[in-house]
A and B are shown apart, each in its own frame.
Chain A
């Protein structure tokens, strides 16, 4: 019998992690778009400070969620560093594809 309480807890934490990572992604996209502001960079720094706590919580997830959460947080770490460095650092793969797609759109 699956532990439904645990499953609900996993879903909630997994979503929290995904949303966190989505915020990092949007900030990094703003850097690629050239629209990032100082407020965005400040937000990236604040999010980066939350990362260790979220990463620690993610280790409590069941196996079904853990690998995905670990990758999502690692991507967020790279994207937040990318924002802090104003795009002058390697990014997550998802930002790599975003840069490529933008190149196609502009080159087309």
Chain B
């Protein structure tokens, strides 16, 4: 049993994705061609990813607009195989330009199970804990910003940070979605437009347990013994395990304890909502959580919020900081928000083919000694 656990814990997350998803052979072949300049393992990894809107944008960044348009065109081809479109090149390029202008509308499919519901309450402007779901804004605007916008957003972030800091002295608690969104927009608005997602901040930990029970009861969920779920069952299960539920997810909504002692809690969850869909698969769980927490901490600090040394995911943050020293902050941030595959490419440029997968395994196993050795290693010839 122990060995199977070890294997599972160390297994790269994208291995399962690779085996569990089908990619049209022609799409895989064309992507391999597009990523031919990358080291072999990275190119293979890229080929195994399904085409998403974000992936399409990442592909544009990696190989250029026209080549990406050609690849996208092949993947979504719907006319009879072999029947060439008239003026195909121009038509594909034109479609691609429209996708750039309004990417979500062009490429987003119907809502999937687990995605945030569309019709939710409006984004509040006040700092008080919210009790209703917030909207997941579906259409993200342009990812870049002008200098003027940057100045305004950074200013708003600092104003929000100071207001939060002041309020913490009176009534400590979780940051509101509005404040966290402004702070993160100030920090990362040059890479992506931060959308809060469907996150509900509950009053406190007992409210968190009560909400868990509420959704279970509402959905007719039964206990392991077959009896109906009842109020108090979550707290009972927590007590038996010696823990307290601080947050949970159900049907696309994330619920967070509003009295959490972790100051980054709200920003951390919002960042997950804005991370590139392929980052977790490429980077693994250690770097996924480590980068999320590291970015949340830095954004809060930059906005003037006092961030204590106490952190969620201390080991993951530590491993990520060490990785960042090798690849650089810019590469890490860009990978997180816009192009995960570039992180592996960059690392393998520095350390040699296959080095990324090896490093990721060590990070997943939290094997610090071997991880440090791998980071310090010279490029394999």
A interface residues with partner B (beta carbon < 8 Å):
11, 14-15, 18-19, 22-23, 25-27, 29-30, 33-35, 39, 43, 46, 48, 51-52, 55-56, 63-68, 70-74, 77-78, 81, 84-85, 88-108
Contact = CB atoms under 8 A, between A and B. Distances in A.
B62 to A, nearest CB: 17
Interface string B37-58: 0000000000001111111100
B347 interface: no
A104 B112 contact: yes
B248 A90 contact: yes
B241 interface: yes
B116 A70 contact: no
A108 B366 contact: no
Contact of B241 (A33, A51, A64): A51
Query: Majority SS of interface residues in chain A?
Result: helix
A72 B262 CA distance: 12
A101 B280 contact: yes
Given A64-B309, A74-B243, A105-B50, A19 B9 contact: yes
A43 B6 CA distance: 12
Given A14-B314, A52-B240, A100-B115, 14 more contacts: A22-B364, A27-B8, A43-B5, A68-B313, A70-B244, A85-B221, A85-B224, A90-B250, A92-B247, A93-B248, A97-B254, A100-B273, A103-B115, A108-B107
Interface stretch (B13-21, B118-126, B155-163, B170-178): B13-21
A64 B318 CA distance: 13
A71 B107 contact: no
Interface residues of B, number: 74
A23 B289 contact: no
Interface string B1-38: 10011001101010011001100000000000000000
A33 B50 contact: no
Contacts of B241: 48, 51-52, 55, 73, 77
B248 A35 contact: no
B167 interface: no
A108 B55 contact: yes
B144 to A, nearest CB: 21
B145 to A, nearest CB: 24
Contacts of B261: 67
Given A51-B241, A85-B224, A90-B216, A97 B316 contact: no
Given A26-B8, A64-B309, A96-B254, A78 B248 contact: yes
A108 B8 contact: no
Contacts of B337: none
| Closest CB pairs A-B (n = 7) | A96-B249, A108-B52, A103-B112, A55-B242, A99-B114, A107-B109, A90-B250
A91 B250 contact: yes
B80 to A, nearest CB: 24
A81 to B, nearest CB: 7
B367 to A, nearest CB: 9
A94 B256 CA distance: 12
B87 interface: no
A71 B314 contact: no
Contact of A93 (B112, B247, B366): B247
Interface string B234-267: 0001101111111111101111100001100000
A88 B254 CA distance: 16
B204 interface: no
B312 interface: yes
A22 B9 contact: yes
B212 interface: yes
B114 A102 contact: yes
A105 B4 contact: no
Interface string B336-375: 0000000000000000000000000000111000000000
B269 interface: yes
Contacts of B309: 64
A93 B285 CA distance: 13
